[in-house]
Amino acid sequence: MKFSPPSKRKFSLLAAFKSMGFLTKLCFSWLVVLVLSAIFADLIPGLDDPNYQAWLFDTTGNELRNDTPSWNHWLGTDVNGRDILARLIYGARVSLAVVASGVTCGVIFGGLFGSFVGYVRGKREAVVMASIDVILAFPGLVLLLTIITFVGARDLKVLCIIIGALSIPIYTRVARANALTVSRREFVAAAEALGTKQRTILIKEIVPNVLPTVLAYALVAAAVLVALEGALAFLGLSVESPAPSWGNMINLARADLRVTIWPAVWPSLALVFTVFSLNNVGDWIRQKAQKRAAAI
Amino acid sequence: MLAARLVRLVATLLAVSFLTFFLVNTLPGDPINALIPPDAQQDQEFVAQLREEYGLNDPFFVRYGSWLSDAVSGDLGRSVITDQLVTDEIKHRIPVTGELAIVSIGIAVLLAIPLGVTAGYRQGTKIDQSISALAQFLLSIPSFIVGLVLIYFLSIRLRWLPATGWTRLTESVTGNIKTVIMPAISLALTEIAVYTRIVRSDMINTLKETYVLSAKSKGLKDRFILFRHALRPSSLTLTTIVGLNIAGLIGGTVVIEQLFALPGLGKRLLDAIFQRDFIMVQGVTVFMACVYVVINTCVDLFYMIIDPRIRRKS
Amino acid sequence: MEGITRMSYLLGKRGVVFKLLAVLLAATAVASACGSDSSSDDAAPAATTAAPAEETATTEAPETTDAPATTATPTTTTEAPPVGPSQGGSASLAIEAEATGLRPWEDTCSSPCYNMMNAVFDKLTEQYADGSYGPMLAKSWESNDDYTVFTVQLQEGVSFTDGTPLTAQHIADMFVVQQTGAASAGVIASSNLIGVEATGDLEVTYTLSATNGPFMAVLSRAPMGMVFNAALVPAGDEDAMAAAANAPTGIGTGPFMVTNRDVDNRTDMERNPNYWMSDNFGTQLPYLDSVSFHPIPDEGTRLDSLSSGTVTAMQTLRQATIRDARTVAEDGSLWMFEFQGNNAGGGMFNVLVPPYDDVRVRRGLIMATRQDAIIAALGGEGISEPATQLYAEDSPWYSEEAAEAYASYDFDGAMALLEDYINDADRSDGKAVGEKLDVVLSCPPDPTLIAAMEVTQQFWNETGLVNTELTAFDQATHINMALGMGNEFRGEHEVHCWRWGSESDPGGENSGSAPWETSPFNFSNWHDPEHYALLEEARTTDDVPTRAALYAQASIMVNEQVPIYFSGGTATAIATAAGLGGFDSWILPDGEIGIGHPSAEGRWGQAYWTETE
């Protein structure tokens, strides 16, 4: 008797894209464009230096500040006369870095950890889950604020490390819950009956089957992290200026809301649409994962 | 069973208190160092005296022990900045944050149930898809942006509601309602999305259950079946999430309290963090965490009472 | 050492120590709120808050054309001039931060909480419109020839809000509390005060250890000047101290009594029906029946609260908010009370840290920046004036020569200085010849300050000789860095935003409104004995022209050495719903007009709704 775990099936990105609904296609494309433009921002022809303030040295001076969209500045300029589009694109890097650190730490450490304890059970599970309960008892934002403030440094690296570390417990919990379900499945029982080593089962059977759900969760969690950067900037605790980040852009533009709303609107839209896309694509993956799990 | 749960509660509370104390006391910077005025540092004798007085020379566990025994007897110390008792501050502010959390969740539940039930009942249709998209959209707007938009329309344009501030329930009920609406809505939008999703998926599952099918075969009206038979089991999951959310919101309202200038616990904690008021940070954080743990336990117990199957399973 | 002496006051009381930091942070609240470039007033209890003055005038006087004249009609409104004050009504003021407490001797605060304290407490002296010092609870005073003993006569018929009559003994009892007060102990030390005695029913004698001509100015400032009933705060009673933070009835003699204090939300006050002062027409003060104060840290929502009618007045120390309030006021719905005195934004160099120990670097960096561009980034075009020294142009201490000596924008000159430094084989930062300078600029994280920092960075980087890094920390950290408690007060700052100057007489503590002595509060660490001697000399006389000449010389030295720099005057404003006024027409008991509303500090005891209906 041979059980073939679903993870062995071939995965085609193109087929997956085709099976998406219109909205999800849109969201997925937005995310792809976002990631690519953020990574290759330096290669985009004609994109301004996101930090250069021409108004300080240009004879036209003040007219370059809080400017309306024009051929040179597609989305206009901000309070210091910088190109908003360029800042949006470079700003995406901050959001991506935060997301990447949260997701990477979460999936790798949390995911493995959770799969492990969910599969082996016993005392180890009890201890790990109890400590995670304790950590999760602290409001995340409060913990983050306390650490950022007391540590003092706010460069991107520090922010990423803290967010990465704080992401692990919740991923562990998600992964463990799924590992519990997966380890009750027939193919695991069969492998055990065949005398396969625990470690092999964990790596070959449990982890690949827990992964899709964890990844679906990761996109939802990523959405939370993108929004979190906005909240941190609102409290003045996001990355140091002049590095553009969407939260910083919104926060800076807030002082000028009664003069012009656009420097605040563009980063807000970017933020909202990105969070929306992450949630939407995350939902889509989750549904796929559920359907597949049900089909086994 | 109950006893075991309670033992675990106490153990978790202990661990939470330890972690708080550990965090606040090991973060960079000797607490006393940060709090000594410039002139005093030149006076070594004085520094020593102060360290002695505040017990900072004791080993970590001795300090933790004495702090814990004080905390258990209801003494979380005094703010080093304002002299106020930490417990007084909590008592004074928890009504604000608590009300905010409860009202926002109330709004969310009231809107999420019809949305979720409809979506679940019409699973796969355009209506279901639109509701899901709406939920995702609501989930995507940061609460402070919602707050800013609300202030602009409801306060500045329409002048219906006060832009900022808080009227306590004991002062005026209508005044209280007016001040709670905008911050509560700002917080509720995210919750609506989460609850809608939960109600929807629960609804889909329960609609497949035999007793629902039999009710249907008896010719009962759809709406009756939905709210009488199908919704009841899913209210269990909802209760769990709501319980946890209330606890989570106690610490999650910081941004909104700051924006609307509300005298809540989150704002107090934020100020304390910025002022390095470590006794206040310690006290408020441990309080928040304990609330979370206690509510969590209550939800578990409630679950056990309501649904005996859980008891058997675990 | 002076520091040790000051410490011995503090030793008397447990907890005071902790509170000293509190004092430093007093203004903090949530960083963005408070005057985020941390006025030296907020920051330095001992060295600057005391900062008082002399009978002979400081400046004040509004600087912008929009600033209200001494009539009830603010200039930015188009409303018809009001008929006069009406009796009754209530007002609510949105303030930028909550007060740590309302204990003048303990809680050092800045503009927001002075609005509240002024309503609860009366001071012994007050400043006239011209900045000189006049009577309040002190009816008259005289000193001996060498300014070491001051004999003060108190007003008759004054009582605390619980009916207790005010006597000289109360002032003497206050001194016991003040000696250990976190806000007042430092002032006592730096003003040379060593004893306060009741020498009659209403006669108080102040004894000083050394000459201090401008001593009476100390009694116009909250820590030593505000009169409270010390019986309510017996020594060692922590609960009483905590309760005093909420200003219980009977603690002050002021025009209002606190009826409800809901910290971080609202503080409600009702009129003191037995208040001792009347206006020039014999009407008993205060005019308003009640007033309430609402801390709203967010600049945007504070103005929203006023324009939506949630409150009837707001205060701000931010140029961008003044700009926005002016826009709202265009339809006549708001009145603006603006004030720009000697207070100016700017910053300092930590001269103990290379490369800032070299004057070429300090001068070069400042010459590379255009003050008008920074003001524009702060949202202050047409609101704030550029600043070149600690005194505004209409101040008696202002000096034209000092203004010319300031390191004004000269890009080529800046390049020359900076190139000279980096090509110097002995450059102090130890880098190779020709290598770029590394510079760190730090301000609190208020949006407008960040915009201004970014402008400064662009100017510096444009020279091609400087790598500029920006940092922003909450106000508490910002102040701590400047203090440098961990490194013998050298400070962990490099180029640091700060706010300089005040309306008080520069003589009081020899500070010139910035601390120049060798103390932890000399944040830039720049100390020049020759410069300090000028300040000392100015303290021994009360002749204005002589003192002005000395301060001019001192200002020139500062501007040549550039330990501190300026980025525009601090414009402040109280904006009110049309009809609420009286902030620039309040009077002293002798009927003369007072100083108005510097730093957006209103005198609510004499504010009123105009009789227009």
Highest mean pLDDT among B263-267, C151-155, C427-431: C151-155
H-run or E-run covering A126:
helix A122-136
Q: Given pLDDT bands bounded at 50, 70 and 90, which one contains residue C8?
A: very low
Contact between B173 and B96 under an 8 Å Cβ cutoff? The reply is no
Residue of chain A whose alpha carbon sits nearest to that of C299: A255
Q: Please name the residue of chain B whose CA is at the shortest distance from the CA of residue C11.
A: B46
C486 neighbourhood in chain B, CB within 8 Å: 33
The torsion of the CA quartet C442, C446, C449, C455, rounded to 10 degrees, works out to: 90
Q: How confident is the model at residue B77 (pLDDT cuts 50, 70, 90)?
A: confident
Selected residue with higher pLDDT from B252 and C579: C579
Band (pLDDT 50/70/90 cuts) for residue A255 is confident
Q: Chain B contacts of C307, Cβ < 8 Å?
A: 156
Closest approach of C605 to chain B, Cα-based (Å): 24
Contact between C470 and C441 (Cβ < 8 Å): yes
Q: Are C500 and C514 spatial neighbours (Cβ–Cβ below 8 Å)?
A: yes
- Which one is predicted more confidently, C91 or B314? C91
**A123/chain C closest Cα distance in angstroms:** 44
The reported pLDDT for the residue numbered B309 is 55
The model's confidence at residue C333, banded by pLDDT at 50, 70 and 90, is very high
Contact B263 C265 (CB under 8 A): yes
E strand residue ranges, C193-278: 193-198, 203-208, 256-262, 266-271
| CA-wise closest residue to C296 among C59, C29, C44 | C29
Q: What does the pLDDT read at residue C3?
A: 34
What six digits make up the tokens of A270? 């970017």
Backbone angles phi, psi at A274, to 5 degrees: -70, -45
Torsion over CA: B243, B244, B246, B250 (sign): positive
**Quick check: C471 contacting A, CB < 8 Å?**
yes
CA angle B190, B195, B201 (to 5 degrees): 135
Q: Do B136 and A280 touch (CB under 8 A)?
A: yes
A240, C457: Cβ pair inside 8 Å? no
Helix or strand holding residue C395 (H, E): none
What pLDDT does residue C47 have?
Answer: 31
- With cut-offs at 50, 70 and 90, classify the pLDDT of residue C429: very high
Q: Name the nearest CA neighbour of B123 among B208, B9, B243.
A: B208
Cα separation, C563 vs B35, in Å, equals: 28
Q: C300 in contact with A at a CB cutoff of 8 Å?
A: yes
Do residues C60 and C596 make contact, with C-beta atoms less than 8 angstroms apart?
A: yes
Per CB-CB distance under 8 Å, the chain C contacts of B275 are 22, 25, 28, 476
pLDDT of residue C144 exceeding 70: yes
Asked if residue B100 has pLDDT above 90, the reply is yes
Query: What ranges do the domains of chain B cover?
Result: 86-313
Residue B310 in contact with partner chain C when CB distance is under 8 A: no
Q: Which of C18, C307, C446 to mutate to test the interface with B (most CBs of B within 10 A)?
A: C18
Phi/psi for C245 (5° steps) reads -60, -20
Contact of C594 with chain A, judged by CB distance below 8 Å, is answered with: no
Q: Which chains touch C (3 or more CB pairs under 8 A)?
A: A, B
Contact between chains at C327 and A258 (C-beta distance less than 8 A): yes
CA distance B262 to chain A (A): 15
Pairwise CB contact (< 8 Å): B163 & C305: yes
Cβ separation of B144 and A272 shorter than 8 Å?
no
Q: Which residues pair with A56 in a beta bridge?
A: none
pLDDT reading at A184 higher than 90: no
Q: Tell if the CB–CB gap between A255 and C458 is shorter than 8 Å.
A: no
Contact predicate C124/C138, CB 8 Å: yes
In terms of residues, how long is chain A?
296
Whole-number Å distance between alpha carbons of C378 and C344: 13
Record: contact A240-C472, CB cut-off 8 A: yes
**Cross-strand pairs, C153:** C140, C203
Q: In sequence order, what DSSP letters do the residues of C535-604 get, joined into one string?
A: HHHHHT---HHHHHHHHHHHHHHHHHH-SEEEEEE--EEEEEETTEE-TT--B-TTS-BB---GGG---G
Q: What CATH number does domain B86-313 carry, 1.25.40.10, 1.10.3720.10, 1.10.10.10, 3.30.70.890?
A: 1.10.3720.10
List the single best residue of B49, B52, B83 to mutate versus C (max C Cβ within 10 A).
B83
Chain B / chain C CB contacts < 8 angstroms: 164
Reply yes or no on whether the pLDDT at C263 is more than 50.
yes
Predicted pLDDT at A21: 86
Judge whether C5 is closer than 8 Å to chain B, CB to CB: no
Specify the range with the lowest mean pLDDT, choosing from B39-53, C198-212, C515-529. Answer: B39-53
Size of interface A-B (CB pairs under 8 A): 114
Mean pLDDT of chain B, nearest integer: 82
The minimum CA-CA distance between C96 and chain B, rounded to whole Å, is: 10
Q: Would you call C455 an interface residue with chain A, using a CB distance cutoff of 8 Å?
A: yes
d(CA B118, CA B131): 9
Closest alpha carbon within chain B to C26? B81
Q: Which of B162, B200, B187 is nearest to B250 (CA)?
A: B187
Residue A236 forms contact with C (CB below 8 Å):
yes
Cis before C354 (ω within 30)? no
**What's the whole-number mean pLDDT along residues B38-52?**
59
Residue C466: strand pairing partners: C437
**From B149-158, B284-293, C9-18, C133-142, the region with the lowest mean pLDDT:** C9-18
pLDDT band at B81 (very low <50, low <70, confident <90, very high): confident
Best to test chain B binding among C25, C96, C237, C308 (most B CBs inside 10 Å): C308
C448 and chain A in contact, CB less than 8 A: yes
Instruction: Say whether residue B51 is in contact with chain C using an 8 A CB cutoff.
Output: no
The Cα-based distances of A58 to A55, A77, A113 in angstroms read: 5, 14, 57
Percent of chain C with pLDDT over 90: 60
Provide the pLDDT for residue B37: 47
In angstroms, what CA-CA distances link C602 with C93, C309, C324? 10, 19, 20
Tell me which chain B residues have a C-beta less than 8 angstroms from the C-beta of C11: 46
Residues with Cβ within 8 Å of residue B34, at least 6 apart in sequence: B276, B278, C21, C480, C485
Q: Model-level pTM?
A: 0.85
Amino acid identity for residue C416 in this structure: A
Chain A environment of B266 (Cβ under 8 Å): 142
Q: Which of B34-43, B60-69, B260-269, B290-299 has the weakest average pLDDT?
A: B34-43
Sheet of C90-95: strand order equals C256-262, C266-271, C290-295, C90-95, C313-316, C572-577, C334-339
- Strands C608-609 and C580-581, by their bridges, are antiparallel
The answer to whether residue B55 neighbours chain C at the CB level (below 8 Å) is no
- B-chain CB neighbours of C298 within 8 Å are 258-259, 261
Average pLDDT over residues C334-349: 91
Cβ contact, residue pair B270, C30, below 8 Å: yes
Query: Which strand (E) or helix (H) includes residue C425?
Result: none
Q: Comparing C-alpha atoms, which of C162, C150, C134 is closest to residue C203?
A: C150
- Other Cβ atoms within 10 Å of C393 Cβ, number: 15
Contact: B12, A137; criterion CB under 8 Å:
yes
Please answer yes or no on whether A138 and B258 come within 8 Å at the CB atom. no
**From start to end of C173-230, where are the E strands?**
193-198, 203-208
Read off the pLDDT of residues B169-206 as tens digits, 9 standing for 90 and up. Answer: 988 999 999 999 999 999 999 889 888 888 888 888 77
Q: Give strand ranges (E) for B215-261.
A: none
- Sequence-distant (≥ 6) Cβ neighbours of residue C49 within 8 angstroms: C41, C108, C183, C186, C187, C221, C223
- Cβ-based neighbours of B141, under 8 Å, separated by 6 or more: A272, A275, B189
Report, as an integer, the average pLDDT of A92-113: 93
CB atoms within 10 A of CB C327: 14
Question: Given CB atoms, is C3 within the 8 Å cutoff of chain B?
Answer: yes
C443 in helix, strand or coil?
strand
Q: What is the DSSP string of A192-253?
A: HHTT--HHHHIIIIIHHHHHHHHHHHHHHHHHHHHHHHHHHHHTT-SSPTTS--HHHHHHHH
Of residues A55, A240, A255, nearest to C471 (C-beta): A240
- Within 8 A of B251 by CB-CB distance, chain A residues are 138-142
Reported confidence tier of residue B308, pLDDT bands at 50, 70, 90: low
Residues found in chain C: 613
Closest CA to C63 of C341, C336, C322, C316: C341
Does residue B76 contact residue B279 with C-beta atoms inside 8 Å?
A: yes
Residues contacting B244, CB < 8 A, separation 6+: B292, B295, B296, B299
| pLDDT band at B29; cut points 50, 70, 90 | low
Residue of C nearest to A236 (CA): C445
Residue type, B138: L
Residues A210-237: pLDDT tens digits?
888 888 889 888 998 998 899 888 888 8
Neighboring chains of B (3 or more beta-carbon pairs < 8 A): A, C
Please compute the mean of the pLDDT values over residues C238-254 and round it to a whole number: 92
Chain B interface includes C12 (CB < 8 A): no
Check residue A28 and give its pLDDT.
Answer: 94
| φ, ψ (nearest 5 deg) of residue C541 | -130, 165
pLDDT above 50 (res C40): no
Q: Name chain A contacts of B28, Cβ cutoff 8 Å.
A: 150-152
- Do residues C588 and C128 touch, judged by C-beta distance below 8 A? yes
Structure ipTM: 0.85
A142·B285 Cβ contact <8 A: yes
Mutate to test the interface with B, among A141, A245, A269 (most CBs of B within 10 A): A141
The whole-number average pLDDT for the span C48-71 is 33
Taking the C-alpha atoms of residue C443 and residue A257, their distance in angstroms, rounded to an integer, is 22
Q: CB contact, 8 Å: A53 with chain C?
A: yes
- Burial label for C319, CB within 10 Å (0-12, 13-18, 19+), is buried
Residues B183, B256 contacting (CB under 8 angstroms)? yes
Question: Cβ contacts (< 8 Å) between A268 and chain B: which residues?
Answer: 145
Chain C contact set for A253 (CB, 8 A): 447
Mean per-residue pLDDT over chain C, rounded: 83
Rounded distance, CA C380 to CA C570, Å? 9
Q: Which residues of A touch B132 (CB under 8 A)?
A: 283
Mutation target for B interface from A150, A224, A256: give the one with most B CBs within 10 A: A150
Q: Please state, in angstroms and rounded to a whole number, the distance separating the CA atoms of residues C316 and C322.
A: 7
Contact C183, B37 (CB under 8 A): no
Nearest CA in chain C to B43: C4
